[in-house]
Structure 1
Amino acid sequence: MKLLKTVFLLTLVTILSSFTTQPPKGYKVGDIAADFSLKNVDGKKVSLADYKEARGFIVIFTCNMCPYSVANEDRIIELDKKFKNKGYPVIAINPNDPAVTPGDSFEGMQKRAKEKGFTFPYLFDEKQEVYPQYGATKTPHVYILNKRNDKLIVEYIGAIDDSSLNEKNVKVPFVENAISSIMKGEKPSQTYTRAIGCSIKTKRKY
């Protein structure tokens, strides 16, 4: 009887642990972000080092097909227009495997960027190596980087604002507030928020 109880408890622990949410891997606020080199929709490779005058970056993992990403496209364009000339351009990255979501193919990216008139690079994480390095889990998922002593420091991770689908309901513009604080030399009052969106599509497990 004792043996049966022990076996039952071990089985239960194994089952429950399989459903346990693991802490996300990747960058935390305060970490140094490494550079990358990814193909842009114009066919050219883009890296953060290309932006010699940048004071930092608004790195956004997004895609063509997720309704949350689509709902935020105009907001992403506005962020780039508002902060690019102040030294914080948007760098958008599609992390999805097009074998899982065909609409997120490179050709689909080119079409979407043209249709929407993207003012920023739209890069393809074709080998799906960059998004796990950052720890991105959703589209959209934002990482604000700030250049300090020639190093890119992660200052904010999370959502664009507090209304994932309806721009008219935005009350707190998380990214705008964070960038405004950083530009004043201050630490953002919110450095982490929960990213809400579609899961990143991959055939591989990280």
Structure 2
Amino acid sequence: MNKTIKLISAAVIVLWLSAFTLTKTNIIDGYKIGDVAEDFSLKNIDGKMVSLADYKNAKGFIVTFTCNTCPYAVAYEDRIIALDKKYAAKGYPVIAIMPNNVSIKPDDNLDAMKKRATEKGFTFPYLIDKEQTVFPKFGATKTPHMFVLQKTKKGNVVKYIGAIDDNYKSAESVTTKYVEKAVDALLQGKEVEQTETKAIGCSIKV
């Protein structure tokens, strides 16, 4: 009897660990530099569905996974707005995606997103990954987590992954603007020198 109980317990533990590993892998594994990102269709704060394919004249995209509740994400809001104002007209608009589970973070729900976007004057779409199917494909783990995509004949190729810059505490103290350097290089027809950095922020809530 004891042997049977031990075997059942061991089987349950193995299954639990397998499930945990699968979930962890799905979240952490994602696009690598050079991969082609799949398009998506997510609801914007205005109720409309938005896809990358909607941007016929775009040369690429600055995709950011962000939210209302993370202090890091809030600290970077003005810099994300500045990125869109600087690069949208040049063909690299910002696409912001809120990836958190709103049952865990209710202040990240769609109504709260609408309010925050209005307060800050977001100039870009603010989409909700309600089913949490998009951020795992990208391999996003933080808010904010940045991805620069370049539109090519193959599709939207991942060219940069990581942080916006090297100082989340103060925009005035930044010495290297990773996203700007990446987009500037692509606009000049050059390769991105620093393709990956470590994203600094809050963990995405699943």
Under a length normalisation based on structure 2, what TM-score does the superposition of the two structures give?
Answer: 0.87
Q: Does 1:96 align with 2:100?
A: yes
Q: Structure 2: any 5+ residue segments left out of the alignment?
A: 1-13, 15-19
Equivalent in the alignment of 1:50: 54
- 39, 43, 55: which one aligns with 1:39: 43
SS in 2 for 1:123: strand
SS in 1 for 2:148: strand
Q: Does 1:69 align with 2:73?
A: yes
Equivalent in the alignment of 2:185: 181
Task: Work out the CA distance in 1 between the residues paired with 2:103 and 2:55.
Answer: 32
* Deviations 1:153-194, CA, capped at 9 Å, x for gaps: 000000000012221211100000000001111111100000
**Alignment RMSD (CA, Å):** 1.7
Under a length normalisation based on structure 1, what TM-score does the superposition of the two structures give?
Answer: 0.87
Task: Work out the CA distance in 2 between the residues paired with 1:197 and 1:165.
Answer: 11
Report if the CA contact (8 A) 2:28-2:136 is conserved: no
* Deviations 1:83-129, CA, capped at 9 Å, x for gaps: 00000000000000111011101100000000000000000000000
SS in 2 for 1:156: strand
Task: Work out the CA distance in 2 between the residues paired with 1:134 and 1:189.
Answer: 21
- Give the percent of matched residue pairs that are identical in Structure 1 and Structure 2: 57
How far the C-alpha of 1:135 sits from its partner, in A, is 0.3
Equivalent in the alignment of 1:140: 144
Equivalent in the alignment of 2:205: 201
Equivalent in the alignment of 2:126: 122
Task: Work out the CA distance in 2 between the residues paired with 1:37 and 1:51.
Answer: 12
Aligned positions of 1:8-27 closer than 5 A: 24-27=28-31
**Corresponding letter in the other structure for 1:186:** K
Equivalent in the alignment of 2:117: 113
SS in 1 for 2:199: coil
Task: Work out the CA distance in 1 between the residues paired with 2:58 and 2:76.
Answer: 23
Task: Work out the CA distance in 1 between the residues paired with 2:155 and 2:98.
Answer: 24
Equivalent in the alignment of 2:4: none
Report if the CA contact (8 A) 2:68-2:113 is conserved: yes
**Corresponding letter in the other structure for 2:199:** A
Task: Work out the CA distance in 1 between the residues paired with 2:109 and 2:182.
Answer: 32
How far the C-alpha of 1:152 sits from its partner, in A, is 0.6
**Corresponding letter in the other structure for 1:189:** E
